[in-house]
Amino acid sequence: MSNTSSTVYDRQSIYPTIGKERHLGPSPAPIHDGTTDDYVSVRYDHSACGDPTPSESDPLIGTKKLSAIDRSRIFVRDHKTILSVIVVAFLIFNVFNHFTRCPLYPEVRDQIRKDWDKETLDHKFWKKLRDYDIEEHNKVIIEWQHDEKRHEEEVQRRRAREDKEHEERRKAWQEEIEDILTQQERMRQKWREEQQQQHRLEWEKEVARHRHAVEQRQRLEEEQRETQRRRWQRETEDHDRLEEERRKREDEERQKLNMFWSQAEAHQCTTYGTREYTARLMNLPVEWEHRVEACKATPIVIHGVSYLPTACEDRVSSSSHCS
Protein backbone atom coordinates (compact mmCIF):
# COMPACT_ATOMS: atom_id res chain seq x y z
CA MET A 1 0.00 0.00 0.00
CA SER A 2 1.45 3.29 -1.04
CA ASN A 3 1.71 6.22 1.41
CA THR A 4 2.37 8.86 -1.22
CA SER A 5 -0.13 11.59 -1.83
CA SER A 6 -0.48 14.32 -4.36
CA THR A 7 -1.54 17.90 -3.82
CA VAL A 8 -3.57 19.81 -6.38
CA TYR A 9 -3.38 23.58 -6.23
CA ASP A 10 -6.18 25.81 -7.24
CA ARG A 11 -4.49 28.29 -9.56
CA GLN A 12 -7.51 30.53 -9.71
CA SER A 13 -7.58 30.88 -5.90
CA ILE A 14 -3.81 31.41 -5.65
CA TYR A 15 -3.66 34.03 -8.38
CA PRO A 16 -6.99 35.82 -8.22
CA THR A 17 -5.74 39.23 -9.36
CA ILE A 18 -2.91 38.56 -11.79
CA GLY A 19 -5.01 39.28 -14.86
CA LYS A 20 -6.44 42.44 -13.32
CA GLU A 21 -3.06 43.81 -12.39
CA ARG A 22 -1.44 43.38 -15.82
CA HIS A 23 -4.53 44.02 -17.98
CA LEU A 24 -2.96 42.04 -20.79
CA GLY A 25 -6.05 40.21 -21.87
CA PRO A 26 -6.83 36.66 -20.79
CA SER A 27 -5.63 35.39 -17.43
CA PRO A 28 -2.11 34.01 -17.51
CA ALA A 29 -1.41 30.37 -17.02
CA PRO A 30 0.65 29.98 -13.79
CA ILE A 31 2.84 26.93 -13.48
CA HIS A 32 3.87 25.42 -10.09
CA ASP A 33 7.42 24.06 -10.21
CA GLY A 34 7.14 21.97 -6.99
CA THR A 35 10.09 23.64 -5.20
CA THR A 36 8.40 26.37 -3.14
CA ASP A 37 4.97 27.39 -1.91
CA ASP A 38 5.62 31.11 -1.91
CA TYR A 39 6.67 31.74 -5.53
CA VAL A 40 5.24 30.28 -8.79
CA SER A 41 6.16 30.56 -12.42
CA VAL A 42 3.84 32.68 -14.53
CA ARG A 43 3.68 32.60 -18.26
CA TYR A 44 1.98 35.44 -20.13
CA ASP A 45 0.47 35.36 -23.52
CA HIS A 46 1.66 38.49 -25.33
CA SER A 47 -0.11 37.64 -28.53
CA ALA A 48 -3.28 39.20 -27.19
CA CYS A 49 -1.60 42.55 -26.90
CA GLY A 50 -0.41 42.50 -30.51
CA ASP A 51 3.26 41.78 -29.64
CA PRO A 52 4.16 38.21 -30.75
CA THR A 53 7.76 38.46 -29.41
CA PRO A 54 8.57 38.51 -25.66
CA SER A 55 10.22 41.55 -24.23
CA GLU A 56 13.73 41.50 -22.72
CA SER A 57 12.33 42.97 -19.49
CA ASP A 58 9.85 40.11 -19.03
CA PRO A 59 11.08 37.66 -16.32
CA LEU A 60 11.58 34.08 -17.27
CA ILE A 61 10.32 32.90 -13.79
CA GLY A 62 7.58 34.80 -12.07
CA THR A 63 8.29 36.27 -8.61
CA LYS A 64 4.79 36.88 -7.36
CA LYS A 65 4.75 36.22 -3.56
CA LEU A 66 1.77 34.44 -1.99
CA SER A 67 -0.37 36.25 0.55
CA ALA A 68 -0.66 35.20 4.22
CA ILE A 69 -4.20 33.80 3.73
CA ASP A 70 -3.06 31.60 0.84
CA ARG A 71 -0.10 30.29 2.84
CA SER A 72 -2.37 29.43 5.82
CA ARG A 73 -4.77 27.58 3.55
CA ILE A 74 -1.96 25.54 2.00
CA PHE A 75 -0.57 24.82 5.54
CA VAL A 76 -3.97 23.52 6.81
CA ARG A 77 -4.51 21.41 3.67
CA ASP A 78 -1.04 19.82 3.98
CA HIS A 79 -1.59 18.94 7.65
CA LYS A 80 -4.98 17.41 6.90
CA THR A 81 -3.37 15.25 4.22
CA ILE A 82 -0.59 14.12 6.59
CA LEU A 83 -3.13 13.31 9.35
CA SER A 84 -5.24 11.25 6.88
CA VAL A 85 -2.16 9.26 5.85
CA ILE A 86 -1.27 8.53 9.51
CA VAL A 87 -4.82 7.33 10.33
CA VAL A 88 -4.95 5.03 7.25
CA ALA A 89 -1.54 3.55 8.12
CA PHE A 90 -2.64 2.89 11.73
CA LEU A 91 -5.79 1.07 10.54
CA ILE A 92 -3.80 -1.07 8.11
CA PHE A 93 -1.30 -2.01 10.88
CA ASN A 94 -4.11 -3.05 13.29
CA VAL A 95 -5.79 -5.21 10.64
CA PHE A 96 -2.49 -6.95 9.79
CA ASN A 97 -1.71 -7.54 13.46
CA HIS A 98 -5.16 -8.98 14.08
CA PHE A 99 -4.84 -11.56 11.33
CA THR A 100 -1.29 -12.55 12.29
CA ARG A 101 -1.91 -12.82 16.11
CA CYS A 102 -5.36 -14.39 16.23
CA PRO A 103 -5.41 -17.43 18.64
CA LEU A 104 -7.91 -19.33 16.48
CA TYR A 105 -5.21 -20.30 13.97
CA PRO A 106 -3.30 -23.55 14.66
CA GLU A 107 0.06 -22.02 14.03
CA VAL A 108 -0.70 -19.34 16.55
CA ARG A 109 -1.85 -21.89 19.14
CA ASP A 110 1.31 -23.97 18.66
CA GLN A 111 3.45 -20.90 19.10
CA ILE A 112 1.51 -19.96 22.23
CA ARG A 113 1.96 -23.48 23.63
CA LYS A 114 5.69 -23.41 22.95
CA ASP A 115 5.95 -20.05 24.62
CA TRP A 116 4.01 -21.37 27.59
CA ASP A 117 6.24 -24.45 27.92
CA LYS A 118 9.31 -22.27 27.72
CA GLU A 119 7.94 -19.94 30.38
CA THR A 120 7.11 -23.01 32.58
CA LEU A 121 10.66 -24.32 32.27
CA ASP A 122 12.07 -20.90 32.95
CA HIS A 123 9.81 -20.60 35.97
CA LYS A 124 10.96 -23.98 37.34
CA PHE A 125 14.59 -23.03 36.71
CA TRP A 126 14.22 -19.70 38.45
CA LYS A 127 12.26 -21.40 41.29
CA LYS A 128 15.12 -23.87 41.83
CA LEU A 129 17.58 -21.04 41.64
CA ARG A 130 15.49 -19.07 44.13
CA ASP A 131 15.25 -22.08 46.48
CA TYR A 132 19.03 -22.50 46.25
CA ASP A 133 19.48 -18.78 47.01
CA ILE A 134 17.10 -19.09 49.96
CA GLU A 135 19.00 -22.09 51.28
CA GLU A 136 22.30 -20.29 50.88
CA HIS A 137 20.77 -17.22 52.50
CA ASN A 138 19.57 -19.31 55.46
CA LYS A 139 23.05 -20.80 55.81
CA VAL A 140 24.52 -17.32 55.76
CA ILE A 141 21.97 -16.20 58.36
CA ILE A 142 22.80 -19.16 60.64
CA GLU A 143 26.52 -18.52 60.24
CA TRP A 144 25.94 -14.85 60.85
CA GLN A 145 23.97 -15.66 64.00
CA HIS A 146 26.85 -17.84 65.23
CA ASP A 147 29.29 -15.06 64.43
CA GLU A 148 27.06 -12.57 66.15
CA LYS A 149 26.86 -14.78 69.25
CA ARG A 150 30.63 -15.23 69.30
CA HIS A 151 31.01 -11.51 68.73
CA GLU A 152 28.66 -10.74 71.63
CA GLU A 153 30.56 -13.14 73.91
CA GLU A 154 33.84 -11.56 72.83
CA VAL A 155 32.39 -8.09 73.37
CA GLN A 156 31.16 -9.08 76.85
CA ARG A 157 34.56 -10.54 77.76
CA ARG A 158 36.34 -7.48 76.38
CA ARG A 159 33.89 -5.19 78.17
CA ALA A 160 34.40 -7.05 81.46
CA ARG A 161 38.18 -6.82 80.97
CA GLU A 162 37.92 -3.13 80.12
CA ASP A 163 35.67 -2.53 83.13
CA LYS A 164 38.19 -4.25 85.37
CA GLU A 165 41.05 -2.24 83.88
CA HIS A 166 38.98 0.92 84.16
CA GLU A 167 38.22 0.18 87.79
CA GLU A 168 41.91 -0.43 88.48
CA ARG A 169 42.84 2.80 86.70
CA ARG A 170 40.10 4.62 88.59
CA LYS A 171 41.48 3.39 91.92
CA ALA A 172 45.00 4.32 90.87
CA TRP A 173 43.77 7.75 89.78
CA GLN A 174 41.87 8.14 93.03
CA GLU A 175 45.01 7.34 95.02
CA GLU A 176 47.04 9.75 92.90
CA ILE A 177 44.38 12.42 93.34
CA GLU A 178 44.34 11.89 97.12
CA ASP A 179 48.15 12.10 97.19
CA ILE A 180 48.06 15.26 95.09
CA LEU A 181 45.37 16.78 97.30
CA THR A 182 47.39 15.91 100.39
CA GLN A 183 50.51 17.47 98.92
CA GLN A 184 48.50 20.52 97.86
CA GLU A 185 47.06 20.84 101.36
CA ARG A 186 50.55 20.62 102.88
CA MET A 187 51.80 23.18 100.38
CA ARG A 188 48.85 25.45 101.15
CA GLN A 189 49.49 25.11 104.86
CA LYS A 190 53.16 25.86 104.37
CA TRP A 191 52.27 28.78 102.12
CA ARG A 192 49.84 30.12 104.73
CA GLU A 193 52.53 29.85 107.41
CA GLU A 194 55.02 31.58 105.14
CA GLN A 195 52.44 34.23 104.34
CA GLN A 196 51.73 34.75 108.03
CA GLN A 197 55.44 34.95 108.76
CA GLN A 198 55.92 37.35 105.90
CA HIS A 199 52.94 39.42 107.03
CA ARG A 200 54.34 39.44 110.56
CA LEU A 201 57.74 40.58 109.29
CA GLU A 202 56.13 43.17 107.08
CA TRP A 203 53.97 44.32 109.97
CA GLU A 204 57.04 44.61 112.22
CA LYS A 205 58.85 46.50 109.47
CA GLU A 206 55.85 48.70 109.02
CA VAL A 207 55.66 49.33 112.77
CA ALA A 208 59.36 50.15 112.82
CA ARG A 209 58.97 52.44 109.83
CA HIS A 210 55.97 54.05 111.45
CA ARG A 211 57.82 54.50 114.73
CA HIS A 212 60.81 55.92 112.89
CA ALA A 213 58.53 58.17 110.86
CA VAL A 214 56.78 59.33 114.03
CA GLU A 215 60.10 60.01 115.72
CA GLN A 216 61.37 61.76 112.62
CA ARG A 217 58.19 63.78 112.38
CA GLN A 218 58.38 64.66 116.10
CA ARG A 219 62.03 65.64 115.72
CA LEU A 220 61.21 67.73 112.68
CA GLU A 221 58.30 69.31 114.52
CA GLU A 222 60.55 70.00 117.48
CA GLU A 223 63.16 71.49 115.19
CA GLN A 224 60.51 73.50 113.45
CA ARG A 225 59.17 74.71 116.80
CA GLU A 226 62.69 75.57 117.94
CA THR A 227 63.37 77.33 114.65
CA GLN A 228 60.07 79.13 114.94
CA ARG A 229 60.82 80.06 118.53
CA ARG A 230 64.26 81.37 117.59
CA ARG A 231 62.77 83.21 114.66
CA TRP A 232 60.12 84.72 116.89
CA GLN A 233 62.83 85.61 119.39
CA ARG A 234 64.94 87.23 116.65
CA GLU A 235 61.89 88.99 115.35
CA THR A 236 61.10 90.15 118.87
CA GLU A 237 64.67 91.29 119.40
CA ASP A 238 64.73 92.95 115.99
CA HIS A 239 61.41 94.56 116.75
CA ASP A 240 62.67 95.78 120.12
CA ARG A 241 65.92 96.96 118.55
CA LEU A 242 64.11 98.71 115.75
CA GLU A 243 61.70 100.17 118.23
CA GLU A 244 64.64 101.37 120.36
CA GLU A 245 66.38 102.78 117.32
CA ARG A 246 63.18 104.42 116.20
CA ARG A 247 62.74 105.87 119.66
CA LYS A 248 66.35 107.07 119.66
CA ARG A 249 65.94 108.58 116.22
CA GLU A 250 62.84 110.32 117.37
CA ASP A 251 64.70 111.61 120.45
CA GLU A 252 67.59 112.70 118.24
CA GLU A 253 65.21 114.41 115.88
CA ARG A 254 63.54 116.14 118.75
CA GLN A 255 66.95 117.09 120.16
CA LYS A 256 68.10 118.22 116.73
CA LEU A 257 65.11 120.46 116.49
CA ASN A 258 66.18 122.10 119.78
CA MET A 259 69.86 122.47 118.69
CA PHE A 260 71.08 125.66 116.97
CA TRP A 261 74.38 127.33 116.14
CA SER A 262 75.67 130.36 118.05
CA GLN A 263 76.92 133.45 116.28
CA ALA A 264 79.76 132.49 113.94
CA GLU A 265 83.09 134.18 114.68
CA ALA A 266 85.25 135.16 111.73
CA HIS A 267 89.01 134.59 111.70
CA GLN A 268 91.78 135.41 109.29
CA CYS A 269 91.80 134.13 105.74
CA THR A 270 93.60 130.88 105.21
CA THR A 271 93.78 131.18 101.40
CA TYR A 272 92.63 133.61 98.76
CA GLY A 273 88.85 134.00 99.08
CA THR A 274 88.62 131.55 101.99
CA ARG A 275 88.00 132.53 105.59
CA GLU A 276 87.70 130.38 108.70
CA TYR A 277 84.60 130.64 110.93
CA THR A 278 83.90 128.99 114.29
CA ALA A 279 80.62 128.57 116.18
CA ARG A 280 79.12 126.61 119.07
CA LEU A 281 76.22 124.10 118.74
CA MET A 282 73.80 125.03 121.49
CA ASN A 283 71.29 122.76 123.42
CA LEU A 284 73.37 119.62 122.68
CA PRO A 285 72.64 116.96 125.35
CA VAL A 286 75.60 116.02 127.45
CA GLU A 287 74.64 112.33 127.70
CA TRP A 288 74.19 111.97 123.96
CA GLU A 289 76.82 109.73 122.43
CA HIS A 290 76.66 111.14 118.91
CA ARG A 291 77.60 114.64 119.70
CA VAL A 292 80.32 114.92 117.01
CA GLU A 293 78.10 113.30 114.37
CA ALA A 294 75.30 115.73 115.22
CA CYS A 295 77.77 118.58 114.87
CA LYS A 296 78.89 117.43 111.44
CA ALA A 297 75.31 116.84 110.28
CA THR A 298 73.90 120.20 111.37
CA PRO A 299 74.32 122.88 108.66
CA ILE A 300 75.19 126.53 109.49
CA VAL A 301 74.20 129.61 107.46
CA ILE A 302 76.91 132.20 106.84
CA HIS A 303 76.10 135.28 104.75
CA GLY A 304 72.95 133.59 103.48
CA VAL A 305 74.75 130.41 102.37
CA SER A 306 74.34 127.01 104.14
CA TYR A 307 77.54 125.15 104.95
CA LEU A 308 78.38 121.90 106.76
CA PRO A 309 81.15 122.00 109.33
CA THR A 310 84.49 120.66 108.13
CA ALA A 311 85.75 119.88 111.69
CA CYS A 312 83.99 119.34 115.03
CA GLU A 313 85.50 119.25 118.53
CA ASP A 314 83.68 117.90 121.59
CA ARG A 315 84.71 119.86 124.63
CA VAL A 316 82.30 117.96 126.90
CA SER A 317 80.14 120.97 127.59
CA SER A 318 76.75 122.09 126.72
CA SER A 319 77.89 123.00 123.23
CA SER A 320 80.17 121.79 120.47
CA HIS A 321 82.73 123.86 118.68
CA CYS A 322 82.93 123.59 114.92
CA SER A 323 84.86 125.36 112.27
Average pLDDT (242-270) is: 77
d(CA 62, CA 21): 14
| Residue 36 covered by a domain | yes
Higher pLDDT, 322 or 159: 159
> Does 58 reside within a domain?
yes
Q: In which domain, by residue range, is 291 found?
A: 259-322
Q: Which of 45, 66, 101 is the last residue of a domain?
A: 101
Q: Is residue 244 part of a domain?
A: no
Instruction: Tell me the average pLDDT across 228-250.
Output: 85
Residue 78 lies inside a defined structural domain of this protein: yes
309 and 291 Cβ atoms separated by less than 8 Å: no
d(C-alpha 201, C-alpha 197), whole Å:
6
Q: Decide if 307 is inside a domain.
A: yes
When divided into structural domains, the chain yields a total of 2
Last residue of a domain, one of 101, 124, 141: 101
Last residue of a domain, one of 49, 67, 101: 101
Mean pLDDT, the chain, whole residue set: 75
* Global model pTM greater than 0.95: no
pLDDT category at 34 given cuts 50, 70, 90 is very low
Q: Residue 176: inside a domain, yes or no?
A: no
SS3 123: helix
Residue 295: name the closest of 260, 249, 253 by CA. Answer: 260
Judge whether 198 lies within some domain: no
- Please check whether residue 209 lies inside any domain of the structure: no
Cβ proximity of 309 and 295 under 8 Å: yes
